[in-house]
Structure 1
Amino acid sequence: MRRILAALAAFSLTVLSSPADEALQKFVYEKAEMGLPFRISMYAKDEATAKAAAEAAFDRVAVLNSILSDYDSDSELSRLSQTSGQGKAVPVSTDLWRVLERAQQYAVRSDGAFDVTVGPLVNLWRRARHKQELPTPELIAEMKARVGYKNLRLDPEHHTAELLVPEMRLDLGAIAKNYAVDEAVAVLKQRGITRVLVGGSGDMTAGDAPPDQPGWRIEVAPLDVPGAPPPQIIYLKNRSIATSGDMFQRVEIGGKRYSHIVDPRTGIGLTDHSLVTVVASDCMAANGLTTTISVLGPERGLKFVEDTPGAAAHVVRMPDDKIQFVESSRWKDVPKAAP
């Protein structure tokens, strides 16, 4: 999913550097992984060190794609989906287990607003965007019968997963890329590079701040309508950020916008024109929360954020003709540049 956050130019402060900081150089590497642009910005002592670390991080993302992709029919995730309804409890890898376990935690907490079994409905609405026509109620009902987080059974003792209903399809689009971002940062830190920012199509995880800066400078873009609040500039350090919305992936049919984000409970693409930005402890949490808020709506969604330790959310939406702007209580604590 394309995102709309971007790392901006360096912001200078009158802070003295240590000799170690002065020896660091900035390096930026970009590569397409998981069908998306991944970008690594880091400070390292030399190019050889930086390049080797970036290659290791990208290699880790490529491995995760072979596990978590719902496009690759031979991925571990796809092979698991192919066992749906067969009464098989399938042993899964540590990486797939971590993602599925987190997904189910959000599904239970949100009463199904977040649901990685939503794959059949996601595919249905992909076709709707391509054909520029709404799915029929009968087809929506047919796909809904294959969806439901309670039909994904995890066994924590044996690390197995079982899909209880035939023709289920898991879709980890809301968190797989974000897990990969976090894992790329972990690889870089293992190599001693801590001043790093990794982004996967805009969702980001930051390590330590760049030299002489309070954090990595990030723009939270505004809603794409006249009169929307201007972008905020925040500083990110040892935190993650993600944004969900319908600015780029949507379809308009009969004068009504339908988002790529599908409500698993109704089977319908969301019609609320909005941008939801979350800062959280890790990238998987950040994007899991943006999706949950998008589906639940701002009132219930922000309560969900308030109940998540350390998370903060910023929501701009235009449900009708009036712009609405809401934030969770902890958003005020996110470091920001002066307007």
Structure 2
Amino acid sequence: MPVRSLINSATISVGAWLLVGGAALVHGQASPQGASTREYRFLMGTSIEVEAYGGDDEARRAGINEAFGAMAEVDRLMSNYRDDSELSLINRTAANGPVHVSAPMLSVLAAAQKVSGQSRGAFDVTVGPIVRLWGFHDKKPHLPTAAELAAVRPVIDYRNLLIDSERETVRFAKPGVEIDLGGIAKGFAVEIAANALRRRGLGGFIDAGGNQYLLGLPPGKRVWTVGIKDPDRPDRLLGVVDTAETSVSTSADYATFVEIGGRRYGHVLDPHTLQPSTAALSVTIFSPDGTLADAMSKAAFILGPHEGLTILDRFPGMTGLIAYRTTDGSIGVVMSPQLKGAFHRSPPQP
């Protein structure tokens, strides 16, 4: 089934840098010929911004309301913080037998399994137990013991999730498996929100923290300009990338972390080691498919700058930029060949 179905942000000013998750977005100041409407709502555990360009005020507001409605539905289906969500139902019952799931859920799980297969399991939605163990779920940091990690190791494997696309069911291969869609659901949400604007002939952008969708072009501009934050100084930029319409997904170890014993542990957990990955500092993925971009930003982070960049070629239209720590302690940057003419590095700052 095709994927297409249906943390904090510091806003400086319209027409200037909008710091969003792991990237900073520069977009054009709306002109009288390109009027815009913007709204913020709290959904999916973060403040989400939707801005629409073009049309009249009524069309823009209708598009924005539909976009937020679509994202609210994703949250209702895929949140693991809600006992009444479809995801919670799956986690409670799929070890007992097949569970019929909705089309959006089936689509997202199929996309997750596709990325898992292509990345040799670097991306894995069955990480739920270790997300809880490390304290990322309940915001209570905990350094797991070797015994605790050994106890959950058998259930952390994407092959424990069995999908029957024809019957539209999923089941778990063994008890104890728990799905966490925190690494893919927001990418799906911003994509279907963008589709709500697109159906009305509108442009705009959706910002859900580490996930954005840039639709059309900003008024009076030929490109969107996306800034890549400096992982060591997130208030500064490594550089900017000029791009046409795209989704953007960023994973960074400075964005979400727990602190235990004075040490920070990033939230991107490696399904193989069961530890927070340190293979990269940040990964920004550009793709027409927001769902795949979200998942791939985690997979590439875990695989590191070289293998992580290589597997992007397996997904049509996908490019990426990976920042990593070099042996001398500085920040190295690798990127897809398609981005080399579009990336503009910031001059060194004191």
Q: Which amino acid aligns with 1:40?
A: V
**TM-score, normalised via structure 2 length:** 0.86
3-state DSSP of counterpart to 2:197 = helix
| Distance of 1:22 and 1:73 partners within structure 2 | 46
- In the alignment, the residues of structure 2 paired with residue 132 and residue 93 of structure 1 have an alpha-carbon distance, to the nearest angstrom, of 34
Q: Distance in 1 between matches of 2:279 and 2:38?
A: 36
Q: Aligned residue for 2:324?
A: 317
Aligned positions of 1:1-339 closer than 5 A: 3-10=21-28, 23-86=33-96, 88-126=97-135, 130=139, 132-193=141-202, 195-225=203-233, 230-253=237-260, 256-272=263-279, 274-318=281-325, 321-334=329-342
Q: Which digits, 9 at most, give the CA deviation of each residue in 1:58-82, with x for residues without a partner? A: 1111111111111111100110111
Q: CA deviation at 1:128?
A: 9.8
Give the letter aligned to residue 117 of structure 1: T
Q: Is the 8 A contact 2:279 2:305 kept in 1?
A: no
Structure 1 residue runs without a partner (length 5+): 13-20
Change (3 A) 1:49 1:169: same
Could you tell me how far apart the structure 2 residues matched to 1:131 and 1:269 are? Answer: 16
Q: Once the two structures are superposed, what CA deviation does each residue of 1:78-104 show, in whole Å capped at 9, x if it has no partner? A: 101111321x11111010011000000
Contact 2:71 2:193 in 1 (8 A): yes
Q: What letter corresponds to residue 207 of structure 2 in structure 1?
A: G
**Gapped regions of structure 2 (runs ≥ 5):** 1-6, 9-20
Q: Secondary structure at the match of 2:324?
A: strand
CA contact (8 A) 1:216 1:235 kept: yes
More moved, 23-32 vs 122-131: 122-131
Aligned mates of 2:84, 2:176 — CA distance in 1: 16
Mapped partners of 2:225, 2:331: distance in 1 = 26
Alpha-carbon contact 2:279-2:303 (below 8 Å) kept = no
Aligned to 2:125, the other structure's residue is in SS state coil
Counterparts of 1:278 and 1:39 in 2: how far apart (Å)? 20
The residue that corresponds to 2:14 in the other structure is none
Between the two proteins, the alignment pairs up a number of residues equal to 328
Query: One-letter code of the match for 2:290?
Result: C
Q: 1:260, CA displacement in angstroms?
A: 0.8
Percent of aligned pairs with the same amino acid: 30
- Please say if residues 132 and 138 of structure 2, whose CA atoms lie closer than 8 Å, have aligned partners that are also in contact: no
Equivalent in the alignment of 1:16: none
What SS is found at the alignment partner of 1:144? Answer: helix
* Contact 1:128–1:134, Cα closer than 8 Å, also in 2: no
2:226 and 2:242 in contact (8 A); partners too = yes
Distance 1:6 1:230 in 2: 8
Q: 1:295 to 1:273 in 2, by over 3 A?
A: closer
Deviation at 1:338, TM superposition (A): 9.5
What code does the residue aligned with 1:66 have? R
